C-alpha cells in the first residue's frame, strides 16, 4: 500500500504518515493498520451494524458456554419427556438442543 493509500480519508501530513508507516515493521502490524483504515472508511451506520452483529455472536457463545456447564433444569427435562424424548440431557445446552430437535419432528 502506498503512502497515498494510507492518506485515504485521513487528514494527516505526509511526514506523519511516513513516520507511522516506518513503525509498521511486521507484516501483521501493516495488515492490522490496513484493516483499521478500511474499518474507519465504512459509514457509521454500517460500522454500528457490524459491531452489533459481533456483540450478538459473542453473547451467544457466552450463553452457550454457560449453558454447557450447567445442569439441565427440571422444566427442560419435563418438557423433553412431554415431547417423547427418552434421552437424559447432560447440560442445559444439550437439553435446549434436544428440545429444538424434538419440536421440529
pLDDT for res 94: 97
Do 10 and 34 lie in a common domain?
yes
Do 31 and 68 lie in a common domain?
no
Q: Which residues contact 76 (CB under 8 A, 6 or more apart)?
A: 89, 92, 95, 96, 99
Whether pTM exceeds 0.85: no
DSSP secondary structure code for residue 72 in this structure: P
Do 13 and 64 lie in a common domain?
no
Range of the domain at 84: 45-105
pLDDT digit string, tens, across residues 52-76 = 999 999 999 999 999 999 999 999 9
Do 57 and 102 lie in a common domain?
yes
Do 93 and 72 lie in a common domain?
yes
CA dihedral of 8, 12, 14, 20, whole degrees rounded to 10: -90
DSSP secondary structure code for residue 104 in this structure: T
Q: Please tell me the total count of domains within the chain.
A: 2
pLDDT for res 58: 98
pLDDT digit string, tens, across residues 5-49 = 454 555 556 777 777 777 878 888 888 888 998 999 999 999 999
Do 64 and 94 lie in a common domain?
yes
pLDDT for res 18: 76
Do 36 and 64 lie in a common domain?
no
Amino acid at each position: 500500500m502506498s503512502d497515498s493509500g494510507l492518506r485515504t480519508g485521513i487528514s494527516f501530513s505526509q511526514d506523519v504518515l511516513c513516520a507511522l508507516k516506518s513503525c509498521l515493521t511486521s507484516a501483521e502490524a501493516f495488515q492490522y493498520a490496513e484493516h483499521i483504515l478500511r474499518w474507519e472508511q465504512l459509514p457509521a451506520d454500517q460500522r454500528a451494524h457490524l459491531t452489533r452483529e459481533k456483540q450478538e455472536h459473542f453473547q451467544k457463545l457466552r450463553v452457550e458456554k454457560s449453558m454447557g456447564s450447567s445442569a439441565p433444569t427440571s422444566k427442560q427435562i419435563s418438557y423433553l419427556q412431554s415431547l417423547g424424548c427418552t434421552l437424559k440431557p447432560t447440560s442445559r445446552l444439550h437439553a435446549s438442543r434436544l428440545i429444538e430437535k424434538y419440536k421440529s419432528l
